[in-house]
Amino acid sequence: MLQGLKILAADDDEMSLEMLTAILGRQGVFCTAVVDGREAMDTLKSNPDFDLILLDLQMPVMDGFEVLSQCKNNPYLSDIPIIVLTSDYHEKIKSLKLGADDFLAKPYDLDELTLRISKLVLSYKRVQGSKRAKDEFLAIACHELRTPMHQIIGVAELLESENLEGEQREFVELLKQSTDSLTGTISDILNYVRLDHGICPTAETFSLRALVEKVLKSHDDEASSKGVVLILDISDDVADALNGSLLYISKVFDILIENAVKYSSDGEITIVVREESFGKHGSRFNCSVSDSGIGISAAFHAKIFEPFMQVDSSKRRKFEGIGLGLAIAQRMVQLMGGTIDVQSDEGRGSTFFFSFHCQLHGT
């Protein structure tokens, strides 16, 4: 029943851990054993391909509650079923509140252990199968749309090179704007599918200051047309040469600044960048993008990071988009070891805070 499953078992009681791995081994399970929470998280981050986690709660370095919390708040680990190993009532309640899927008391009963694991893994594999089918459909659909879209763009560019009259030129410009918008939507969907699989680009060397200035410049015309002023506040001590995900950092700034401009009719948009030491050779960068736009109701603060989520989903909504921008930004930030959050009140503007880690170039 459990043949071929990959299970992570975390327990600081070596005798209990040895007994558990022996029981699972006889069932044909590939079991990885660790003795503390930190080792469990390091194992999951380097290889999240587990079918289930068996988690003791009372462990040194990092306890099981913290492991549980981190797993359930990580989009690449949150779906993995977790069975906590406890018989204490209060620990069970706390674990369930943190997102535990089930619990099991020591000493282990073989039949109960097998049934609980089988039930959770079966459900997990059904969910994963549905997600893979959805991602494959989205990827195929987007690739199929790209080919005719490139042909339409090509025709629009040929028409633009002709000696067109005023109204004809306006029609071609409208056609180009529409194809650019649809191309951006297709790219967002493909980016989301890739991020859902935890794909991270190769690290590059870049200047953070130059990167942010370039993104700001790309939004300057639209901001100026609305009377919005873009302000960059980056401290002088921010390291100039970094080694990290240039593509992801640039995209996160682009998404947040684009949203700030979109939802602002006047006022200022301020981008703040600060650096703090983080480890021997790396730094943590704390950034924010603040606007004086329409703001977001507190009821939607958590929901806006969900894929395809829109605050106004009605057919008469004023602002266009499919609701993937912030979901993409969150995934990218998490892959860089950071976090993203928002502070906002409806009608009073918004501030998005995010952080990421980078190595200093040459260290």
**Average pLDDT of the segment spanning 173-177:** 85
| The pLDDT value given to residue 321 | 62
173-182, 203-212, 304-313 — which is least confidently predicted? Answer: 304-313
Q: What is the pLDDT of residues 309-338, one digit of tens each?
A: 666 554 445 555 667 889 889 988 988 878
pLDDT for residue 200 is more than 70: no
CA 10, CA 266: separation in Å to the nearest integer? 54
- Tell me the residue ranges of DSSP E strands in 202-337: 204-206, 228-234, 242-244, 267-277, 282-290
Residues of the chain with CATH 3.40.50.2300: 6-108
**Amino acid letter at 61?**
V
What class, spelled out in words, does domain 204-360 have in CATH?
alpha beta
Q: Say what the pTM is.
A: 0.63
182 burial type by CB count under 10 A (0-12 exposed, 13-18 middle, 19+ buried)? middle
Give the model's confidence band at 281: pLDDT under 50 very low, under 70 low, under 90 confident, else very high. low
**Digit-coded pLDDT (tens) for 201-235:** 678 899 999 999 999 999 999 999 999 999 999 98
The pLDDT of residue 63: 93
pLDDT of residue 244: 87
pLDDT for position 228: 94
Residues of the chain with CATH 1.10.287.130: 132-196
Question: For 132-196, CATH number?
Answer: 1.10.287.130
d(CA 233, CA 64): 40
Side-chain half-sphere exposure of 29, counting CA atoms within 13 A:
27
pLDDT, tens digit (0-9, with 9 covering 90-100), for 50-68? 999 999 999 988 999 999 9
* Model confidence at 277: pLDDT above 80: no
Beta-bridge mates of residue 356: 285
Q: What does the alpha-carbon distance between residue 101 and residue 212 come to, in Å, rounded to a whole number?
A: 42
Residue percentage of the chain with pLDDT more than 70 = 93
Neighbouring CB atoms inside 10 A of 218's CB total 13
User: For residue 322, how many other CB atoms are within 10 A of its CB?
Assistant: 14
Determine the average pLDDT of the residues in 151-174.
86
Angle at 101 between CA 98 and CA 107, to 5 degrees: 105
User: Which pLDDT band holds residue 303 (cuts at 50, 70, 90)?
Assistant: confident
Domain limits, CATH 3.30.565.10, in the chain: 204-360
Predicted confidence at residue 98, as pLDDT, reads 93
**Length of the chain as a residue count:** 363
Between 294 and 76, name the one with better pLDDT: 294
User: Would you place residue 279 in the very low, low, confident or very high pLDDT band (cuts 50, 70, 90)?
Assistant: low
More confident: 320 or 308:
308
- The confidence score (pLDDT) of residue 133 equals 79
Partners of residue 360 on adjacent β-strands: 242
| Predicted local confidence at residue 353, as pLDDT | 96
**Quick one: pLDDT at residue 183?**
82
pLDDT attached to residue 127: 77
At residue 306 the predicted structure's pLDDT band, cuts being 50, 70 and 90, is confident
Class of domain 6-108: alpha beta
Asked whether the beta carbons of 140 and 160 are under 8 A apart, the reply is no
